[in-house]
């Protein structure tokens, strides 16, 4: 069985925390809380990137969660096609490390930048708990 939910968030700083809570509540409801800390951190990083770098003025971002079999897929949709940049470990700038964290925590991640309204940054997590009931 495939489970899927999505929610739109306004372009406001407090939306990042709301997106984390949305993910947590969804995963607990699906009995897929095993990787909740990794997924919450990735939601934070991707939502922050969308808010700071990916939204056009007065446009928010969308968070989508899908669960099928043993995989949870997180997507963050924003309104700019600008590709995010990944920093290297040697960089001294403390910003721009969100995608490094996503790459370290997720089992896979990537970017779909040919959407009509912007881009989607996605990440996948294997959840040993199995598919939602």
pLDDT of residue 118: 83
Domain residue ranges of the chain, discontinuous segments joined by +: 2-126
Mean pLDDT by 10 residues, the chain (133 residues): 92 95 96 93 94 80 94 91 53 61 94 79 79 41
pLDDT of residue 70: 85
> Class of the 2-126 domain?
alpha beta
In order of 8, 35, 95, the CA distances from 53 in angstroms are: 17, 27, 12
State the pTM of this model.
0.83
Side-chain-side CA neighbours of 131 within 13 Å: the count stands at 7
């Amino acid at each position: 069985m495939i489970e899927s939910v999505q929610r739109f968030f306004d372009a406001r700083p407090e939306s990042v925390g709301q997106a984390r809570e949305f993910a947590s509540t969804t995963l607990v409801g699906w009995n897929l809380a095993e990787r909740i800390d990794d997924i919450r951190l990735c939601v934070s990083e991707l939502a922050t990137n969308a808010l700071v770098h990916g939204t056009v003025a007065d446009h928010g971002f969308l968070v989508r969660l899908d669960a099928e079999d043993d995989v949870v897929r997180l997507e963050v949709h924003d309104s700019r096609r600008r590709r995010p940049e990944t920093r290297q470990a040697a960089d001294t700038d403390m910003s721009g490390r969100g995608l490094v964290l996503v790459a370290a925590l997720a089992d896979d991640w990537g970017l779909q930048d040919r959407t009509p309204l912007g881009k989607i940054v996605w990440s996948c997590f294997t959840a040993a708990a199995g598919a939602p009931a």
